[in-house]
Structure 1
């Protein structure tokens, strides 16, 4: 990101700060540079465009939706209202899956709760021999993930991808997968809904007003979908296959216990860059 108009950035940052935006300076640079990229400058029509985008961000619409895009590892992905926006910490979860798949010959990878397709597409472009099957229960997410897949295939979003490498299916968790994949998955990776319903009143407007509830709340307890995925992992992974599931940082020990109850082995917790327990990682029993 190269800032081209520092004075305009300062004006935008002041406006965003007054509206309570948590990162006004960073967001201001993104907005100004986006307008320069799209309109050529922040004058005339560009100025009107910038004013409208700043108003949306000041109203606490997420920056990714204002820009219509986000960056995840090596990819530039489209974002759309009603579909969960991938967070930087999820790149760590994707990285665990990618590291595992990279050491295998033609690995089979499944990613339930795909949202924008960020994890699935990252695995596919960074592990060229991988076969990746992604699913989502939400039709809007399936449509967006397929759109992002099309952009990657067209060379518009990042590194190249083989045409038949990724499949995106509609349905609940692993239910859409072909039955012949049962017991054959090399990697199962997911960022599922994992927050308790009681957390709703604590969310910032960017989350509460824009991320879909169904992508955030795992149920009354919050851990319901994580528990289901770990149980499914024991059934769908090949012996020694890897599962990595993003979790609520407050529920690390619960996730560890759920993995053990499911019959998984080599259970560990994966920290993020802040040291928070970001994911549970385990293997299918050998």
Structure 2
């Protein structure tokens, strides 16, 4: 029977040959998930070249490795995605949250904290909420925040509700999940939000995502923003944010790294937005529009 180290090396090699971007990390996660152990334990056991645990289900491991070799997302195989401090349930039909969106969530959280200090309360609306990664992060990291999360996909809504339901009671009671179109929603809450945050679909219609995990497995509804530039949906959501936000409220919206100028221009063409900015992600790429609701 191969040792843990040998099994890890073989699995890493197979994933690397398949073009998986992080082969060793994914191999460790798949082995740990199959054995019901923590990844840190697998790293230590591999370094010591421990014997492979007797009775481990090699067929199950092989099936999972094969799925990853075929470029099924690691998160679909494990059923889990990690986002900031959260462990979220994900699967087919819901967008897998990305590391760059953690920065978007951080900007929204900072804006919500500023509103809380000013007003003593804070309401946040997450449009195109998907798995709930952003909205639940806000409610988790700001104990006073009331968060509404809006999602139009029935498949994604299943995961959104599950992830909201499995939060601690003090977080769960401040979360509201809404089935609806983010471009036209929550009419009873006009001018109520302090922060509107969104990671909308923004891929142009004729573009093909580079990664097979995205092109084959992420739901098209969560990817394609309609229009030649992919910004029809983001523009409509920005218009909706103008209605939902109170004066002085802030919108934070993710976009593609080549869409910053277009989104700034659209916001600046409206009398309802001021302090329009493009902020970058941790790689220095343009990643989000930030603007303040002005007017009356």
Q: 1:51 to 1:74 in 2, by over 3 A?
A: same
1:199 partner SS: coil
Render the CA deviation track for 1:26-81: whole Å, top value 9, x for unaligned. Answer: 21111122223269976534322211110110010011111110100010001111
CA separation in 1, counterparts of 2:159 and 2:54?
A: 33
Paired with 2:54 and 2:248, the residues of 1 have a C-alpha distance of 59
TM-score normalised per structure 1: 0.91
Where 1:149 maps in the other structure, the secondary structure is helix
1:16 aligns with 2:24: no
Cα RMSD for the two superposed structures: 1.9
Are 1:42 and 1:50, in contact at CA under 8 Å, matched by a contact in 2?
A: no
1:210 pairs with 2:252? no
Segments of 4+ in structure 1 off by > 3 A? 38-45, 160-163
Q: For 1:250, what is the secondary structure of its paired residue? A: coil
Q: Which residue number in structure 1 is paired with residue 293 of structure 2?
A: 284
What are the superposed Cα offsets for residues 180-222 of structure 1, whole Å, 9 maximum, x if unpaired? x21121000000000101112x432111110011100001320
Equivalent in 78, 89, 111 of residue 89 of structure 2: 78
Distance 1:146 1:134 in 2: 10
Match of 1:8, SS state, is helix
Match of 2:46 in 1: none
Q: Deviations over 1:231-253 (max 9, x none)?
A: 22222211110000000110110
What is the aligned length? Answer: 275
1:33 equivalenced with 2:32 (yes/no): yes
Alignment of 1:225-240 (within 5 A): 225-240=233-248
Deviates more, 1:255-264 or 1:265-274: 255-264
